[in-house]
């Protein structure tokens, strides 16, 4: 009697299905890990005015206020100190991971100073190193009242007044 090492077609098909399911599970696990890592990647945020490329070169000293409005657009804010000043304000920040706080990378304030005849007197491009970042709306108001320490109530209890 001779024995052969032949595998039945049914067992061969089961092994093929098992390998197929194992491959699909590996593919699904890889996709889940990829999606989870993609959700944690960093983000960049641009707030405020976006300076068009070459815009500052189009505004020479002595240009009219209308020409500045055509090239740069409406300013973020306007001041009327010794003539008029247009301010174009922008800020770029990023966070390396989705759940972390934002960190300011660049901050720009472009100031266009005008003289009394509404002509450009001076251009200034202030960056992050030119100023201090602070929160304009902190929603807290410092008071000048008396601060109480943890010993104050104890001394009030012991006093005989």
Q: How would you write the pLDDT of the chain (161 residues) with one tens digit per residue?
A: 555 556 566 656 666 666 667 777 787 777 766 665 555 667 888 888 888 888 888 999 999 999 999 999 889 888 876 778 999 988 888 888 777 788 888 888 888 999 989 999 988 888 877 665 544 445 555 555 566 666 677 777 777 65
Query: In the prediction, which pLDDT does 95 show?
Result: 84
Query: In the prediction, which pLDDT does 5 show?
Result: 58
Do residues 46 and 92 touch, judged by C-beta distance below 8 A? Answer: yes
SS3 145: coil
CB-facing half-sphere around the CA of 151: CA atoms within 13 A: 0
| Closest C-alpha among 94, 98, 76 to residue 86 | 76
Neighbours of 46 (CB within 10 A): 11
- Look at the pTM and tell me if it is higher than 0.85: no
Instruction: Burial-class residue 109 by CB neighbours within 10 Å (0-12, 13-18, 19+).
Output: buried
Do residues 72 and 88 touch, judged by C-beta distance below 8 A? Answer: yes
């Amino acid at each position: 009697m001779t024995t052969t090492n032949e595998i039945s077609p049914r067992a061969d098909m089961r092994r093929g299905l098992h390998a197929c399911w194992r491959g699909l599970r590996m593919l699904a696990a890889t996709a889940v890990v990829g999606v989870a890592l993609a959700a944690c990647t960093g983000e960049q945020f641009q707030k405020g005015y976006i300076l068009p490329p070459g815009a500052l070169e189009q505004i020479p000293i002595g240009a009219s206020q209308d020409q500045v409005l055509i090239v740069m657009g409406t300013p973020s804010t306007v001041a009327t100190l010794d003539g008029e000043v247009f301010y174009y304000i922008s800020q770029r920040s990023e966070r390396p991971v989705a759940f972390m706080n934002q960190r300011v990378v660049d901050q720009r304030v472009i100031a266009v100073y005008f003289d009394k005849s509404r002509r450009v007197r001076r251009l200034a491009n202030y960056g992050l190193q030119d100023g201090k970042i602070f929160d304009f709306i902190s929603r807290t108001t410092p008071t000048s009242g008396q601060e109480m320490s943890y010993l104050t109530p104890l001394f009030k209890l012991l006093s005989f007044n």
